Structure 1
Amino acid sequence: MHASRSSEPPLQRNALAPGILAAIALFLSPLVPDGFGATIVRFVVTILALIVAWFAVQAGQWWWTIVFIAVAVFWNPIFAVEVDYGVWAVAGVIGALLFLAAGATIKNARIES
C-alpha cells in the first residue's frame, strides 16, 4: 500500500515552547519574593507573551494576538499593575492556562528549506 502525501504542508507549534516556559514561570511565581525576583518574572512573562503573540500573528490567529498583548500589558514590569496578592495568584493560574492552550493550538505551516 502506498501512502499518499497530503497537499497540505505539515504544521508546527512554534508557540509551544514559550507557552510552556511562561506557564512554568507563572505557576512558580507565588514562590518568588516581591522585589527583584518578581520583576524578573514579569519580564519573562511579558517577553514570552509577546513571542506567543507574534507566533499567533504568523499563524493568522488574531484572537490569540489580542489575548497575549493584554497579558503583556498586565505583566509588564515597566508600568507595573499593582494588585493584591490573591489577584496575582489567580491571574497567574489563568495566565499559565492561556499560555498552555495557545501553545497547543497555535499552528503554522512548516517551512521546508
Structure 2
Amino acid sequence: MANKRAPSTYQRNALAPSLLAAAVLFLAPVLQGGDWYLVPLFVASILAVIVGWFGIQARQWWWAPVFAVIAVLWNPVFPFPFAGSGWMAAQPVAAIVFLVAGAMIKVRRA
C-alpha cells in the first residue's frame, strides 16, 4: 500500500506568474531593439500587477511598491526610452525579483 502524502498547508499563488515573467525577462535583452520588444514590456507589467496583488492578498504588503515600480518601468503604454547596458542589466534583476517573490509569497490554505 502506498503512503499518502500529507497536503501542503500553504499555497503559492504568485509562483506561476513569477516563473513566466522571469522567463520573459531573461529573454528580453535578446528582443531589445526589434519588432517584438513590446511583448516583454506587456508581459512584465501585467504580471507585476498580478504578483503585487497576490502579495497584498498574502498580507505581505511590502511587495506592492516593488511591483508597482516594475509595472511603471516596464509600462508599454507610455514606455521610457531606456537603452544601453543599464537597461539590459535591469531585465535579469527584475527577473530575480520575480523569482524571489514567487518563492516567498504564500498563504495558508483554508
Q: Indicate the TM-score class for this superposition, using the shorter chain for normalisation.
A: 0.7 to 0.9
Q: Quote the RMSD (CA, aligned, Å).
A: 1.7
TM-score by length of 1: 0.85
Q: What is the match of residue 37 of structure 2?
A: 38
Give 1:33 shift.
4.3
- Partner amino acid, structure 2, of 1:58: Q
Give 1:35 shift.
4.6
1:7-46 pair list within 5 angstroms: 10-46=9-45
Give, in whole Å, the separation in 2 of the partners of 1:75 and 1:33.
13
| More displaced stretch, 78-87 vs 46-55 | 78-87
Give 1:52 shift.
0.1
Deviation string 1:68-99 (CA, Å, 9 cap, x unpaired) is 01100000101111122212211101100000
Q: What is the match of residue 92 of structure 1?
A: 91
- Partner amino acid, structure 2, of 1:12: Q
Give 1:34 shift.
2.3
Give, in whole Å, the separation in 2 of the partners of 1:83 and 1:29.
13
Give, in whole Å, the separation in 2 of the partners of 1:68 and 1:90.
17
How high is the sequence identity, in percent, across the aligned residues? 47
Structure 2: runs of 5 or more not aligned: 1-5
Q: What is the match of residue 63 of structure 1?
A: 62
Instruction: Say if 2:102 is the partner of 1:103.
Output: yes
Moved over 6 A (4+): none
Deviation string 1:35-84 (CA, Å, 9 cap, x unpaired) is 54111110000011000001001001111111001100000101111122
Q: Alignment partner of 1:47: what SS?
A: helix
Give, in whole Å, the separation in 2 of the partners of 1:81 and 1:28.
19
Give, in whole Å, the separation in 2 of the partners of 1:62 and 1:13.
15
Q: How many residues align?
A: 104
TM-score by length of 2: 0.87
Give, in whole Å, the separation in 1 of the partners of 2:81 and 2:63.
24
